[in-house]
Structure formats: C-alpha cells, structure tokens
Amino acid sequence: MSRYLCEPSYERDGVDDRRDQWARELPDVDTRGMAVLGRARRLTLLVRPQIDAVLASHGLDAGEADVLFTLLRAGPPYRLRPTELFKSMMVSSGGMTHRLNKLSQAGLIERRPAEEDGRSLLVELSETGRRTAEAAFREDMALEARLLAGLSDAEQEQLAALLRRLEGSLTADRQ
C-alpha cells in the first residue's frame, strides 16, 4: 500500500508513484516538495498547449499576448513606457524589443513620442490591438475556467490563496 494516500474520489498519479519509489530507495528524504512543485510543473505542461492554441488562434504567442494584456489592463489610453512593460513582465530589454517590433509590424501596437519628453516613446494599443487583446483574453479566461471546473469555487479560492502564500514566501527571500 502506498505511503501517500489520495482522497477516495481521486486516482493516484505519477507523482504518487514517484514518491513511493523514492520512499523505498531513500526513505529518509522528504518528498513533499515533489508533491506540490512536481504537480505544479505537470499542470503547467498539461495546460500550456491549450492556452498557446487559444493565443495562436488570435495570431499571438504567449510573450506577445503578455504585452497586449498588460497594455489592456492598464486602461485607457492603453499606453505605457517600454520600461514599465519591461519591469512588469520580467523579460530582457532585448526580448521586449523583439516583442514590440513584432506587434508593431502586425499593427497591434503603435509607438508614439511622449508628450513631455520627445526622446521617449510610449507603447500604445492600436484599435486592432485592443480588440485582439480583449478577444484573446476573454477566450483564455473561459478556457482556464473550464480547466478549473473540477474544483469548487471554494477550492479554487483556497488553492489560489495557498499558491499566493507560497509565491510570497519564495519571493520574500529574493528581496
């Protein structure tokens, strides 16, 4: 019998099997991290293709969608400085430049001189970019709601709170 029991309504998974194997081979090693982080990694790998397909149906990859979504949630007039985008998305400046070039060529963003400093450019959603971002985001959130339908609303809130707490504890060490 497994050392790691699942709720009766859920089947064992590969993480349970691996933990059992490690418990036999190295019984003194605590594998609880694998139970959480291993599953988080597996979930990411499982849902990423579905999310990527939604974004691709709107002509976007994940990085480009991230830029458009960041501009959209900034609210009207849907514009930010490249450094604001860069800092909020934690990508290299070169990576940001590449994304902005692609989005500009696709007509989804425009780069405008800042009124207060003509040397500085602002990144702004075009009307096409705003419509694309909104449609892609709505479809992505509908997909994510379907993916989480196996959990009750209360379970989703609890899981989100636990993940927020875990992320907070991990990022506190970096500050």
- Give DSSP secondary structure letters for 52-70: HHHHHTTT--HHHHHHHHH
The CA-atom distances, in angstroms, between 72 and each of 7, 76, 110, 124 are 41, 8, 13, 9
Residue 123 backbone dihedrals phi, psi, to 5 degrees: -105, 125
Write out the CATH class of domain 51-148.
mainly alpha
| Of 95 and 22, more confident | 22
Strands laid side by side in the 121-125 sheet: 79-80, 121-125, 109-113
pLDDT on residue 7 = 55
Is the pLDDT at 89 greater than 90, yes or no? no
Is the pLDDT at 15 greater than 80, yes or no? yes
pLDDT on residue 94 = 80
Average pLDDT over residues 113-118: 73
Average pLDDT over residues 51-68: 97
Q: Give the domain ranges of the chain.
A: 51-148
The structure tokens listed for 164 are 């927020």
Q: Are 65 and 74 in contact (CB under 8 A)?
A: no
pLDDT tens digits for range 18-59: 999 999 999 999 999 999 999 999 999 999 999 999 999 999
pLDDT on residue 11 = 81
Quick check: helix, strand or coil at residue 89?
A: helix
